[in-house]
A and B are shown apart, each in its own frame.
Chain A
Amino acid sequence: MNDTTPSSNGYLLEAVDLKVTFRAPGGRKLHAVDTISIGVRPGETVGLVGESGSGKSTVALTLMRAHEPEGGTIVFDGQDITHFNERRLKPIRPRLQMVFQDPYSSLDPRMTVRRIVAEPLKAHRFGTRVQINKRVDDLLEQVGLPPDAAERLPAQFSGGQRQRIAIARSLALEPKALIADEPVSALDVSIQAQIINLLRNLQDRLNIAFLVIAHDLALIHQISDRIVVMYLGEAVEEGTADDVVGRPQHPYTVALLSATPVPVVGGDAERIVLTGDPPSPINRPNGCRFHPRCPVARDRCRTDKPPLVEIEPGRKVACFYSGEMPPPRDLWAHEKEESASTGD
């Protein structure tokens, strides 16, 4: 179970040119995800960020093979699982798990915590009842729940505790890759940090390939090694977390950053406020998908679609004018100073 065969580029879970469309009323196509490539290496955290409706969750569910991709391939652990049926997916499932956004709807309200956490164990014939019970107790301890939690119902827990239960369930089978779809967006801000820290600690300890999906760039920056920014089903920027946040090259990333509250006194930088809603994925604009809302769009952006080009190794941007970005304010400057001063 610990033997993983990453592909040549080291990815444990990889999507290549993933494309997902849904049928919209009137026979039109809704392009939820349009040729996205994303890969996660063991022990690495990749953040997928974008606003609501950008197709982040669709990417997650397609990687989990809950949606059928229209094009592209999904490779997990050296196997092309794009067209696996449920029977062939079954041995994959224990190694590829997911944490859902809403800990209120992702736990069956009629089941005790013990039964909820034991469900994947039973499905994969983990062992005897005694072994399963012991594993459940271990897991609950790992995620920081009291021992008596096992016999209670989800309704008796707060949102943060429920998400811990959901995380315990996801970790039950010791996955090699974990996808977390907005793991904290349904929680109180005060609880978010706890859950994020829990996920980070567990990942460090278990060396999981971790794909986190969120709309909050600050949060993604905090936990990710690399970040992929999505807009309207397409990747617009990709790079290391510090690069994307510190030197954003796509106007959309700049806009996302300037929407993040500034954690600095007097840090009142110039803001780019996006106007309007994201366009409909059924009826997408020609050229660059972002041009109707882009502050620096020119004529060319209305007709030609900028490809995602690698401007530096591991750094990709889909913008014709990425070199001309307005200089972003360094949002996390104070953090860097702090960590530098503490020698971290």
Chain B
Amino acid sequence: MTDAAVPKASAGFRMPRIWSESMQLNIGLIIFSIIVLSLLTQLFIIPSSYLDGELTSRLKPPGWGGHVFGTDQLGRDLLFRVMGGLPWSLGIAGMSTLILAVIGTLVGLTGAWYQNWIRTVVLLAISTFVAFPFLVLALVMVAVVGRGYWPITLTLGIIAWPAVARVIYAEGRALLQREYVLAAKLFGVSQWSILFVHVLPGIRPTILVMAAFLFAVMLILESALSFLGLGAPLNEPSWGNMLADSRQYLVNAPWMMFVPAGAIVSAVISLNLIGDGIAEISRKRARAVEV
């Protein structure tokens, strides 16, 4: 028993506590929580009239008359608008990520679990969806389904699940071929237990990492759709809408571009940092756990 002195390791992957060993994850979480906190703030503090502008204070620079980020071409406060855009930009991205992670995991695991025609169908479906570029597919679907909060959320969620499904399929299949899964089966452990005890904990880090990265991708996609006028209604303060508005005033009022662009960039960076951080931690834990 020479290894009796080895410290007790935690079993499996756990969601990190607030301050984790990964600096990337820490920074990412800080930026992201600032963004989310400001979403909550705007829900309770910002006057409901934030959408109304004063035409007398059009295109004012940041700091003018209490407008921290300045105003736009209709005299609307840019800080309030960028915060008011959170439900559209971050909300849609978050919801659609949830949808695509659930669909992707279910489909991927289904393909990994069955060895018969179901697997063939799953793989065919994944390949078919992957063949279309995200944005093109999104454009077509929005054109068919129409605009609005839920149509766009569903569209984004439905077009991106194959990315998750493909990875989960591969990982799930590798996990199911492990001898400990066969052992569990031969001990009479039920299929659901095998799924929940051996397979899901094994793919959890992958799901989390992919969700973080795809969250960022969805955010960009939603902004792109809004920028093209296919996303949020024109009067709604989506970050993509705001960028589209700023094009005509790039020279006179560049802050109109910097504010929503900065919001998108910081959200995307924070999500990527979170994804990288989770990947780093799960790699470290895996190394400690595998031999």
A-side residues, CB < 8 A to B, are 64, 66, 89-90, 93-94, 97-98, 100, 102, 104-112, 115, 119-120, 122-124, 146, 148, 151-158, 166, 169, 173
Contact present for A146 and B11 (CB under 8 Å): no
Contact present for B11 and A111 (CB under 8 Å): yes
Contact present for A107 and B188 (CB under 8 Å): no
State which of B11, B178, B187 has its C-beta within 8 Å of the C-beta of A97.
B187
Q: How many residues of B contact A (CB 8 A)?
A: 30
Residue numbers in A under 8 Å from B289 (CB-CB): 109-110, 153, 155
A100-B179, A102-B179 in contact; A119/B189 too (CB < 8 A)? yes
Residue numbers in B under 8 Å from A152 (CB-CB): 6, 8-9
Does B251 touch A at the CB level, under 8 Å? Answer: no
In angstroms, Cα B8 to Cα A292, docked, is 56
B-side residues, CB < 8 A to A, are 1, 3-4, 6, 8-9, 11-13, 178-180, 182-190, 193, 197-198, 201-202, 288-291
A110-B11, A157-B3 in contact; A89/B188 too (CB < 8 A)? yes
In angstroms, Cα B51 to Cα A156, docked, is 60
Contact present for A119 and B184 (CB under 8 Å): yes
Contact present for A109 and B183 (CB under 8 Å): no
CB nearest to A102 among chain B residues: B179
A105-B179, A152-B8, A153-B289 in contact; A110/B13 too (CB < 8 A)? yes
Contact present for A110 and B179 (CB under 8 Å): no
Contact present for B9 and A146 (CB under 8 Å): no
With A93-B188, A109-B290, A110-B11 given, can you name 12 additional A-B contacts, CB distance below 8 Å?
A94-B188, A100-B182, A106-B183, A108-B198, A110-B202, A112-B11, A119-B187, A119-B189, A148-B4, A157-B3, A166-B183, A169-B183
Residue numbers in B under 8 Å from A158 (CB-CB): 3
Contact present for B179 and A123 (CB under 8 Å): no
Residue numbers in A under 8 Å from B185 (CB-CB): 66
CB nearest to A145 among chain B residues: B1
A66-B182, A109-B289 in contact; A169/B8 too (CB < 8 A)? no
Can you give 20 A-B contacts (C-beta < 8 A)? A64-B186, A66-B185, A94-B188, A97-B186, A102-B179, A106-B183, A108-B180, A109-B289, A109-B290, A110-B202, A112-B11, A120-B188, A123-B187, A123-B189, A152-B6, A153-B289, A156-B3, A157-B3, A158-B3, A169-B183
Residue numbers in B under 8 Å from A109 (CB-CB): 289-291
Contact present for A93 and B8 (CB under 8 Å): no
- Which 8 pairs, one residue from A and one from B, show the smallest C-beta to C-beta distance? A93-B188, A110-B12, A120-B187, A105-B179, A123-B189, A106-B179, A108-B180, A109-B289
In angstroms, Cα B190 to Cα A291, docked, is 46
State which of A64, A106, A123 has its C-beta within 8 Å of the C-beta of B180.
A106
Contact present for B189 and A120 (CB under 8 Å): yes
Residue numbers in A under 8 Å from B190 (CB-CB): 123
Residue numbers in B under 8 Å from A64 (CB-CB): 186
Residue numbers in B under 8 Å from A115 (CB-CB): 11
CB nearest to B204 among chain A residues: A110
Residue numbers in B under 8 Å from A120 (CB-CB): 187-189
State which of A89, A110, A112 has its C-beta within 8 Å of the C-beta of B201.
A110
CB nearest to B183 among chain A residues: A106
Contact present for A153 and B11 (CB under 8 Å): yes
State which of A108, A146, A151 has its C-beta within 8 Å of the C-beta of B8.
A151
Contact present for A169 and B187 (CB under 8 Å): yes
Residue numbers in A under 8 Å from B288 (CB-CB): 155
CB nearest to A97 among chain B residues: B187
State which of B193, B202, B290 has its C-beta within 8 Å of the C-beta of A123.
B193
CB nearest to B285 among chain A residues: A110
Residue numbers in A under 8 Å from B180 (CB-CB): 105-108
Contact present for B183 and A98 (CB under 8 Å): yes
Contact present for B291 and A155 (CB under 8 Å): yes
Contact present for B186 and A93 (CB under 8 Å): yes
How far apart are B14's CB and chain A's nearest CB, in angstroms? 11
A110-B12, A155-B289 in contact; A90/B188 too (CB < 8 A)? yes
CB nearest to A98 among chain B residues: B186
How far apart are B10's CB and chain A's nearest CB, in angstroms? 9
CB nearest to A162 among chain B residues: B291
Contact present for A123 and B186 (CB under 8 Å): no
Contact present for A93 and B187 (CB under 8 Å): yes
State which of A105, A122, A124 has its C-beta within 8 Å of the C-beta of B178.
A105
CB nearest to A106 among chain B residues: B179
How far apart are B107's CB and chain A's nearest CB, in angstroms? 24
CB nearest to A90 among chain B residues: B188
In angstroms, Cα B288 to Cα A164, docked, is 21
Residue numbers in B under 8 Å from A93 (CB-CB): 186-188
Residue numbers in A under 8 Å from B186 (CB-CB): 64, 66, 93, 97-98
In angstroms, Cα B189 to Cα A173, docked, is 13
Most buried by B among A108, A146, A153, A154: A108
CB nearest to B1 among chain A residues: A146
Residue numbers in B under 8 Å from A148 (CB-CB): 4
How far apart are A148's CB and chain B's nearest CB, in angstroms? 7
How far apart are A179's CB and chain B's nearest CB, in angstroms? 9
How far apart are B264's CB and chain A's nearest CB, in angstroms? 37
CB nearest to B185 among chain A residues: A66
Residue numbers in A under 8 Å from B13 (CB-CB): 110
In angstroms, Cα B186 to Cα A97, docked, is 7
CB nearest to A114 among chain B residues: B11
How far apart are B242's CB and chain A's nearest CB, in angstroms? 45
CB nearest to B11 among chain A residues: A112
Residue numbers in B under 8 Å from A108 (CB-CB): 178, 180, 197-198
How far apart are B29's CB and chain A's nearest CB, in angstroms? 24
Residue numbers in B under 8 Å from A157 (CB-CB): 3
In angstroms, Cα B185 to Cα A115, docked, is 15
How far apart are B53's CB and chain A's nearest CB, in angstroms? 56
A153-B11, A155-B290, A158-B3 in contact; A100/B193 too (CB < 8 A)? no
